[in-house]
Amino acid sequence: MSIRPFRDIKRRKTKTINVGNVKVGGDNPISIQSMTNTLTTDTNATIYQINQIQNEGADLVRVSCPDEDSTRSLKEISKNVNIPIIADIHFHYKRAIEAAENGASCLRINPGNIGDVNKIKEVIKAAKNNNCSIRVGVNAGSLEKDILEKFKEPCPEALVESALRNIKFLEDEDFFNLKVSVKSSDVFLSIEAYRQLSKISDYPLHLGITEAGSFISGSIKSSIGIGSLLLSGIGDTIRISLSDDPIKEVKIGNEILKSLNLRKRGVQIISCPSCARQAFQVIDTVKILEDRLSHIKTPITLSVIGCVVNGPGEAAMTDVGITGGGNGNNMLYLSGVQKEKVLSKNLINKIIEEVEKKAQEIENNQNDSTKNS
């Protein structure tokens, strides 16, 4: 069972590009990416973290390449992961060339930082020769000197002018496998820059609020900025930038897309904040369920409501539902239909059992449909 959205988001039509085996833009699903925070030269730690990031639901992963040892490490890393790697290059053009030659599927560059035209041409040549895409990563904190002098300060128009300049340079070199970002740590600046760029360019857009901050503040800023753009149909790939574990970035990214009905993955829990009416400990129950149901990737809706005020109505719209009842007798709903009473002491194990059964049922139905098609 899936909740019918009030309205579907009509996405802006963009070009489709390839980042390794992941298609970005067009009608393709909005991809989620994160970035490793291990030393890239520590290949074992980086490989382990990339696999964790992928398991959490990321489609792409970015790896910083500040020196030659890091780009050399990409060769071993790329052989031992199953997700496209984006090499993050800031200043030295040779790092971009080395990354392309050592397994990167995309180069994140800010051409304004590299500067010299001939060096940028060498980067483009390396990207072509190694089937690499490029992300033009414009940032409010590193605009070209002449653009900053023209506009006096970072503003939406400055970010867009920088993006268009760099897009044209790539196009003039016959390179079109690119995506663009115009990021700032300021939510309003970022939103307006992306809106302006989306009106005049049809390249895929990578959304993000850069240096968004700690887990709570960064999640809120990213949700407001990225969420408002996605609601307008703008955005083809996203990254939540947090001063925290990259796994949490993917979790928040997934929740943003799931909330907007743009991604269906894993268990979506609808739960009440709890109050004196609750018949069981809702908050503790939800925390445990989030952890113990994290292995399920099949899209399932689960409602956990502590009393009968809103419980039956929420349960009517979810695959599995539980509503608190008197004397520890809680009502289990399956596909919106009352099934049985469950004692509070058995509640968590019963919910997990029913969610796992539902996931298996959905997977079996999908397999049967595939066989019959």
d(CA 290, CA 306): 16
Give the gyration radius of the chain's Cα atoms.
Answer: 23
pLDDT digits (tens, 9 = 90+) for 155-181: 999 999 999 999 999 999 999 999 999
Name the residue type at position 54: Q
pLDDT tens digits for range 317-353? 999 999 999 888 999 999 999 999 999 999 999 999 9
Name all domains of the chain by residue range, CATH numbers in brackets.
Answer: 16-259 (3.20.20.20), 267-368 (3.30.413.10)
> What ranges in 152-245 are assigned the alpha helix state H?
156-172, 187-200, 215-231
| pLDDT, tens only, 104-135 | 999 998 766 777 888 889 999 999 999 999 99
Alpha carbons 122 and 130: distance in angstroms, whole number: 12
pTM for this predicted structure: 0.90
- Answer for the pair 325, 293: CB distance below 8 angstroms, yes or no: no
Per-residue pLDDT tens digits for 263-301: 988 999 999 999 999 999 999 999 999 999 999 999 999
For strands 22-25 and 206-207, give the pairing: unpaired
Residue 332: what are its φ and ψ, rounded to 5°? -95, 135
pLDDT on residue 29: 96
Which residues are CB-neighbours of 327 under 8 A, at least 6 positions away? Answer: none
CA 243 to chain centre: 16
